[in-house]
Amino acid sequence: MTTLLINIKQLLQVRETNVSKVSGADMKQLPMLENAYVYLVDDKIASFGLMADIEIASADTIIDCTNKVVLPTWCDSHTHLVYAGNRAQEFVDRINGLSYEEIANRGGGILNSAKKLQETSEDALFEQSATRLENVMHMGIGAIEIKSGYGLTTEAELKMLRVAKRLKEIYNFPIKTTFLGAHAVPANFKENQDGYMDLVINEMLPKVAEENLAEYVDIFCEKGYFTLEDTERLLQAAQQYKLIPKIHVNQFNAFGGVALGVQYNALSVDHLEELNDEDIQALQGSNTMPVALPSCSYFLSIPYTPARKIIDAGLPIALATDYNPGSTPSGNMNFVVSTACIKMKMTPEEAINAATINGAYAMGLSETHGSITQGKAANLIITKEIESFHVLPYAFGDNCIDKVLINGSVI
């Protein structure tokens, strides 16, 4: 099957040879071709170039992209898309004055979602999650990471990861999975946090590895959740199963989680709403991608990750949704990209780099996704007619997408 996209107004994120990530001042450059074509063979990008140089005469499908922008699909490297029900009541409680912390301390928050998930069958959980996945695919996501962490028992954690695995198989869609058993301490371990860590490390971790259910390991390293000691114990244990860390750090407090993640070669450190100079220092020269989640800041009214500070220090940054029922009930990467520009003062070029190539890096997919490069997956966004790609973040809340192609097919 061949597909030819012609008369593309702007073809974004064009990389002749692949780069794994872009950092610092380079993030301002978004390589692009104007009046271009892309030729797809089966599920891969076969070639691209200027319309003036086109040599391909025919294709099974021709898509005219006059006045439209084409770019690689968004790479969402941080989600909790598999969850049960919702927490709309807590949303109303927060409007009426309770804080996120107060709700969690009353047994709401993550524990509330865990209770719902434990009571939901694997099939029902699959159905709910599949609906969400289809929804975000239509909003332009072409690769995604999904975490466990709303199970908090061995059985329920495995159930979440099996659902993610099923999604991957059924949709033939790039899904990376992360084991987040240490997301919150369940009520029955309230006085025995070490006991819960024992369960995570000695029972859950080996089972996750045995069934090959995750590639990454995560922990919510935060006051009131898990300590630096818990984090180190987990990351150390995970090494023997070759699970690479991608961790929740610095959402509300900065106390050394970033440096610890870097020390254990984390692929990413995520949230970073609170970020001090030592954290920046720790990231220098590392392979760890800092990941910002602006929709979470928006929804919880907490600070935004200081993207300028990160980029101006010469570091890379990725953007992701954090799609989850508590802090970010939205899987819309278009909103993330807009919000990064509006609230974090990232330029459209920087935000698009952060949401494509750097997002792919943050989930180990930069060889196959995140740019228009020969041999990469034919996962593309075709916009509606717009003046330039700047309109994408500018027209916040608007749907600028006309079509999404996954593996070379319009979905």
Residues placed in the known binding site for N-formimidoyl-L-glutamate? 150, 324, 326
Dist. CA 386–CA 370, nearest whole Å: 22
Dist. CA 246–CA 77, nearest whole Å: 10
Question: Which does residue 113 touch among ligand NIG, Fe ion, none (CB within 5 to 8 A, set by kind)?
Answer: ligand NIG
Q: Is 74 helix (H, G, I), strand (E, B) or coil?
A: strand
Residue set of the binding site for 4-imidazolone-5-propanoate: 87, 150, 183, 251, 327
Exposed, middle or buried by CB within 10 Å (0-12, 13-18, 19+), for 342? middle
Q: Is 113 in the site for ligand NIG (CB under 6 A)?
A: yes
Question: Which does residue 115 touch among Fe ion, ligand NIG, none (CB within 5 to 8 A, set by kind)?
Answer: none
Residue set of the binding site: 78, 80, 87, 150, 183, 248, 251, 322, 324, 326-327
Rounded to the nearest 10°, the torsion over CA 10, 12, 16, 17 is: 180
Nearer to ligand NIG, 299 or 389 (CB): 299
Integer angstrom CA distances of residue 97 from 88, 100, 222: 15, 10, 23
Q: How far is the CB of 76 from ligand NIG (least distance, A)?
A: 13
Q: Which stretch binds ligand NIG (CB under 6 A): 114-122, 301-309, 317-325, 378-386?
A: 317-325
Dist. CA 294–CA 12, nearest whole Å: 23
Q: Which stretch binds ligand NIG (CB under 6 A): 210-218, 228-236, 258-266, 320-328?
A: 320-328
Q: Is 322 in the site for ligand NIG (CB under 6 A)?
A: yes
Dist. CA 214–CA 397, nearest whole Å: 33
Nearer to Fe ion, 149 or 348 (CB): 149
Integer angstrom CA distances of residue 337 from 5, 222, 279, 320, 396: 25, 26, 24, 9, 9
Dist. CA 379–CA 43, nearest whole Å: 8
Structure-block tokens of residue 393: 């973040």
Q: Which stretch binds ligand NIG (CB under 6 A): 91-99, 109-117, 133-141, 308-316?
A: 109-117
List 90, 145, 273, 322, residue binding Fe ion (CB under 5 A)? 322
Nearer to ligand NIG, 273 or 349 (CB): 273
Instruction: Specify whether the CB–CB gap between 213 and 180 falls below 8 A.
Output: no
Dist. CA 348–CA 389, nearest whole Å: 8
Q: Which stretch binds Fe ion (CB under 5 A): 11-19, 68-76, 307-315, 319-327?
A: 319-327
Nearer to Fe ion, 163 or 372 (CB): 163
List 48, 173, 196, 220, residue binding ligand NIG (CB under 6 A)? 220
Nearer to Fe ion, 279 or 322 (CB): 322
Nearer to ligand NIG, 222 or 349 (CB): 222
Q: Is 217 in the site for ligand NIG (CB under 6 A)?
A: no
Q: Is 218 in the site for Fe ion (CB under 5 A)?
A: no
Instruction: Specify whether the CB–CB gap between 36 and 50 falls below 8 A.
Output: yes
Q: Is 371 in the site for ligand NIG (CB under 6 A)?
A: no
Q: Is 250 in the site for ligand NIG (CB under 6 A)?
A: no
Helices 154-171 and 110-118, axial angle in degrees (round to 10): 80
Instruction: Specify whether the CB–CB gap between 236 and 266 falls below 8 A.
Output: no
Residues that bind ligand NIG (CB under 6 A): 109-110, 113, 220, 248, 251, 296, 322, 324-327
Residues that bind Fe ion (CB under 5 A): 322
